[in-house]
Amino acid sequence: MSAAPGRAPSGPAGPVLDVDALLDDRSTSVLVCCGSGGVGKTTTAAALSVRAAERGRRVVVLTIDPARRLAQSLGLAELDNTPRRVEDVGAAAGGSLDAMMLDMKRTFDDVVEAHASPERARAIFDNPFYEAMSSSFSGTSEYMAMEKLGQLRARASVPGGDGSEPWDLVVVDTPPSRSALDFLDAPRRLSSFLDGRFIRLLLAPARAGGRAYVRVLSGAVSSVTGALSRILGAQFLDDLQSFVTGLDAVFGGFRDRAERTYAMLAGPGTAFLVVATPDEDALREAAYFVERLGADGMPLAGLVLNRVQTTALPRLSAERSWAAVVHLEGRTADDEEDGTAPEALSRGEHALAAGLLRLHAARMFRLEREQELAARFGREHPGVAVAQVPARPRDVHDLEGLRAVGDDLGGAA
C-alpha cells in the first residue's frame, strides 16, 4: 500500500487522542467503535485490534458485516459465529488476535437454546414470527451485538487449557445503522416493546391460566384484539400470542437483559470510540452520540476522524493553485488563438502543470472544507480528543492496510 502523500495538516489545537496509550492501558477491557453508516467502524475496529495484539494484548474482535475481502484477510471465510485465531498477528509481542463475524440469527438461536427446553425451543423456532424477528427487525442486530459482547466478556476470563485467560481486550464493531445512536437505543426500543403494555395484554390470557381468561378480558381489550383479528387475520394473533409467551418464558424479561448489558457498557474498563468521516452528516451524528454518551455517563475515549484528505503541499492553498490554473490555461488559450502556439511538447508542459495544479486545487478545496468542519466540531466539543486517519487511495482490506491505518491512529499522539 502506498503511503498517502503527506499527512493531514494538524487540526485545531484540540486534545489529540492517544490511541496507543488507550491500547496499552491494561484496564481497558472493552472498546466499542460506533458511528453512522459507512464511516469506517469495521475498519477501525479491525485496525485497532491488530495494533493492540501487536503491542502485546490478547484481543478478540467482534466484526459485523465486514467487507468480503477484509473478512478473508482476517481468515473469516466462514461465518460460524465463533472467534478464530488470526495467524501471524501479535505473537512476537506476546499478544494474539482472534476474530469473528456476528451471525445475528445464530446468536439469537443460541440464546433461545441456552434458556429453553428442547421442545420449547423448537416451538419458538417454528413460529413464523421468530424467523422475521431474528433476522430482520430493526434493533435485533444491535441487541445481538450487545448479547455477543456480553458472552465474549464472560468467556474472556475463563482460563483455557494452559491456565491463561484467553482475552484481555474485547473490541466491538457496531451494526451499519443510519444513526450512531441506534447502538444504544435499539435494544431498549426492542425490549420496551416486548415488555410493553401491548405484549402484557396479549400475555395476560396465558398468565391467567388457559382458557378461563376469556371471562376476564375487559371490553377494551376484546375490542382491540377483535380489531387486530379483522385486519391481520385471527391466525396472526394466535401466532403472536404463542410466540410472545414462549419467548417470555425463555428470557424472563428482555428489558432486564438489555439493562444489564447497558450497565456493563457504562462500567469501568469500557471505552467508546466514535468514528466519523469529515462531512456534515457524519459529524452531526458523532456530535449527537458524544452528547448522549455524556448524558448516560458512558466513557468516551475520543473521536476517530477517518478518511481525511491529505496533501503533500499544505501551504499551496486551493485559492492560489486555482488562480495558477486560470493563469496557465488562459495563456494556453491565447497561444492557440493567435497562432503562435509553440511545438506540441511545450504546450504539453503547460497542460501538465495546469492539470497537476487542478488536481491539487480540488484536493485542497476538499481538505479546507473538511478541516473547517472538524474545527467546528472541536469548538462545539472542546473536551473530545481526536485522532485523524488519512483517506487511503485504496480500500483497506488486508493486514498490511490495517497496520497502516493502525499506524495513523497510533501516530496521532
Partner 1 sequence: MPSAPDAVPDPGDRRDDGREDSPLLFPGTRLHVVTGKGGTGKTTTAAALALALSRGGRRVLLCEVEDRQGVARLFGLPPLPYEERTIAATPGGGEVVALAIEPRAALLEYLDLFYKLGRAGRALDRVGAIDFATTVAPGVRDVLLTGKVYEAVRRRGRGRGAEREHTYDAVVLDAPPTGRIGRFLNVNSEVSGIARVGPVATQAESVMRVMRSAATRVHLVTLLEEMPVQETVDGVAELEAARLPVGAVVVDQVRSDTLPLELLDDALAGRVPASAVRDGLVEARVVRRDASGAGVVEGLLAEAAEHDERLALQDREQEALVATGRPLVELPLLPGGVDARGLEVLADRLVEQGLA
Ligand X SMILES: Nc1ncnc2c1ncn2[C@@H]1O[C@H](COP(=O)(O)OP(=O)(O)OP(=O)(O)O)[C@@H](O)[C@H]1O
Q: Which of 289, 239, 298, 290 is nearest to 267 (CA)?
A: 298
Q: What is the DSSP string of 325-336?
A: HHHHHHHHHHHH
Sheet (strand 30-34) strand order: 84-85, 96-101, 58-63, 169-173, 30-34, 270-276, 300-308, 386-390
Q: Which residues contact 359 (CB under 8 A, 6 or more apart)?
A: none
Q: Which is nearer to ligand X, 251 or 289 (CB)?
A: 289
157 vs 218, beta carbon nearer partner 1? 218
d(CA 301, CA 289): 12
Q: Which of 306, 309, 310, 311 binds ligand X (CB under 6 A)?
A: 306
Q: Of these partners, ligand X, partner 1, Mg ion, none, which one is at the site of residue 40 (CB under 5 to 8 Å by kind)? A: ligand X
Q: At which residue does the C-alpha cell 443510519 appear?
A: 178
Residue 199 touching partner 1 (CB under 8 A) = yes
Number of residues that bind partner 1 (CB under 8 A): 79
The site for ligand X, by CB under 6 A, has a size of 23
Cβ of residue 221: shortest distance to ligand X, in angstroms?
39
Tell me how far apart the alpha carbons of residues 259 and 296 are, in angstroms, rounded to a whole number: 13
Print the binding letters for residues 14-53 with Mg ion: x by CB under 5 A, - otherwise.
Answer: ---------------------------xx-----------
**Which residue from 15, 85, 94, 198 is in contact with partner 1, where contact means CB under 8 A?**
198
Q: Are 175 and 147 in contact (CB under 8 A)?
A: no
Angle at 155 between CA 154 and CA 158, to 5 degrees: 105
Among partner 1, ligand X, Mg ion, none, residue 136 binds (CB under 5-8 Å by kind): partner 1
CA–CA separation, 243 vs 125, rounded Å? Answer: 9
* Sites for ligand X among residues 373-412 (CB under 6 A): 389, 391-392, 395-397, 405
Q: Let me know: does 102 contact 145? Beta carbons within 8 Å.
A: yes
Shortest distance, position 302 Cβ to partner 1, whole Å: 23
Residue from 12, 37, 150, 294 in contact with ligand X (CB under 6 A)? 37
Q: Which residues are CB-neighbours of 328 under 8 A, at least 6 positions away?
A: 350, 353, 354, 357
Q: Which one of Mg ion, ligand X, partner 1, none is in contact with 306 (Cβ closer than 5 to 8 A by kind)?
A: ligand X
Query: Please, which residue, 40 or 406, has the CB nearer to Mg ion?
Result: 40
- Report if residue 69 touches partner 1, rule: CB under 8 A: yes
* Integer Cα distance of 370 and 367 in angstroms: 5
> Using the rule CB under 6 A, which residue among 38, 267, 348, 383 binds ligand X?
38
- Between 14 and 175, whose beta carbon lies closer to partner 1? 175
Interface positions with ligand X (CB under 6 A): 35, 37-43, 65, 67, 176, 178, 279, 281, 306-307, 389, 391-392, 395-397, 405
